């Protein structure tokens, strides 16, 4: 039994904000390389280098450790995560960075419904009203009928839906599977799956972009590890809202690097989505794992 520890919200918040900064930086790097490389290329190299970065944790265990009776569910969870990644990266390449990140961070609004429909998990009825607020915010960002970007924004919102399905899958799998095994199968299936489109979409990256592609995998993996540390130090309902710092950092990157400034409808929609996401986390949050379990890598979510 792991040793007991006291919650430390300031430390958990610091880890979460550090993770948020790295997730936003990952988005900025993705936007930069997407000006030259196709979405298929960027997704593949994020998975390939992410898998390489996780190797120290994966190879700590022998082959028998990865034997599973849930291979089909691992595959379904990986497909949902990979679909989220394709949608998210495409949205980053076409939308203002903060807007794309925010649409991906709408996932908490969809998780209760995804968990109910996919794994049969009932949710607190009090979640309906923040979910409704969040959907209103998404509607303002999508601006149906008012913006030529609405179809692309729908793809960004789809990233949030697929992320919610992937997270519901993680929730189901972690009832019976250790975190490292969940990470291994997602990373393996996502790398193999994202390699298939390269049969017709391969581009040889310019020499200067190889390092940037490597950074996407390494920085996103570091962000995942910081995320795990954050949840180890404080309950999800307390530390989870700090994850929306990613949207703030993404807005700063977008303004500094691409002079992106959100319009009024998007800004109001963003406030509604962030408020709804925070309420959803606080109402549905659960206590995180003890610190003793933190060295395991997190079950990777699409970023």
For 149-179, the pLDDT digits (tens) are 578 888 998 998 998 888 888 777 877 888 7
pLDDT at 93: 95
Q: Are 225 and 275 in contact (CB under 8 A)?
A: no
> Phi-psi region for residue 254, left (φ > 0), alpha (ψ -120 to 50) or beta?
alpha
The Cα–Cα gap between 127 and 131 comes to 6
Phi first, then psi, for residue 115 (nearest 5°) are -65, -35
How far apart, in whole angstroms, are the C-alpha atoms of residue 138 and residue 132? 10
Q: Going by C-beta distance under 8 Å and a sequence separation of 6 or more, which residues neighbour residue 279?
A: 130, 133
The residues near 235 (Cβ < 8 Å, ≥ 6 apart) are 7, 285, 286, 287, 288
On the question of pLDDT at 274 being above 70, the answer is: yes
CB 201, CB 119: distance < 8 Å: no
- For position 167, what pLDDT does the model report? 81
Closest CA to 231 of 179, 181, 286: 286
pLDDT on residue 276:
87
Query: Poorest-confidence range of 140-144, 253-257, 278-282, 295-299?
Result: 295-299
Residue 300 is predicted with a pLDDT of 53
- Percent helix, strand and coil across the chain, each to the nearest 5: 75, 0, 25
**pLDDT mean over 114-123:** 75
Name the residue with higher pLDDT: 234 or 196: 196
What is the share, in percent, of the chain residues with pLDDT greater than 90?
A: 36
Of 249, 227, 219, 281, nearest to 101 by C-alpha is 249
When pLDDT is cut at 50, 70 and 90, the band that residue 303 belongs to is low
Of 3-12, 179-188, 278-287, highest mean pLDDT: 179-188
Distance CA 302, CA 82 (A): 7
Q: How far is CA 135 from CA 41, 112, 132, 142, 271, in A?
A: 32, 13, 5, 10, 12
261's CB contacts (< 8 A; 6+ apart) are 255
**Mean per-residue pLDDT of the chain:** 84
């Amino acid at each position: 039994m792991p040793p007991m520890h006291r919650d430390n919200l300031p430390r958990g918040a610091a880890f979460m904000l550090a993770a948020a900064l790295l997730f936003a930086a990952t988005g900025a790097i993705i936007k930069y390389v997407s000006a030259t490389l196709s979405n298929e290329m960027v997704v593949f190299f994020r998975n390939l280098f992410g898998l390489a970065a996780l190797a120290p944790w994966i190879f700590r265990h022998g082959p028998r450790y990865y034997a599973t009776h849930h291979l089909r569910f691992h595959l379904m969870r990986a497909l949902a995560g990979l679909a989220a990644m394709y949608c998210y990266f495409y949205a980053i390449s076409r939308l203002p960075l903060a807007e794309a990140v925010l649409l991906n961070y709408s996932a908490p609004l969809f998780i209760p419904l995804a968990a109910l429909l996919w794994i049969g998990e009932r949710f607190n009825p009090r979640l309906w009203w923040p979910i409704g607020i969040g959907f209103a915010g998404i509607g303002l960002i999508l601006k149906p009928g008012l913006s030529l970007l609405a179809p692309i924004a729908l793809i960004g919102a789809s990233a949030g839906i697929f992320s919610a399905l992937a997270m519901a899958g993680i929730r189901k799998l972690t009832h019976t599977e250790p975190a490292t095994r969940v990470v291994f199968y997602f990373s393996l299936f996502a790398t193999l799956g994202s390699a298939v489109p390269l049969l017709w979409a391969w581009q040889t990256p310019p020499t200067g972009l190889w390092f940037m592609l490597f950074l996407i995998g390494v920085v996103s993996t570091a962000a995942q590890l910081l995320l795990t540390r954050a949840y180890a130090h404080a309950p999800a309902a307390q530390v989870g809202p700090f994850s929306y710092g990613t949207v703030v950092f993404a807005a700063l990157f977008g303004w500094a690097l691409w002079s992106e400034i959100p319009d009024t409808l998007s800004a109001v929609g963003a406030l509604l989505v962030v408020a709804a996401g925070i309420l959803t986390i606080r109402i549905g949050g659960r206590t995180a794992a003890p610190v003793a379990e933190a060295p395991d890598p997190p079950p990777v979510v699409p970023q």
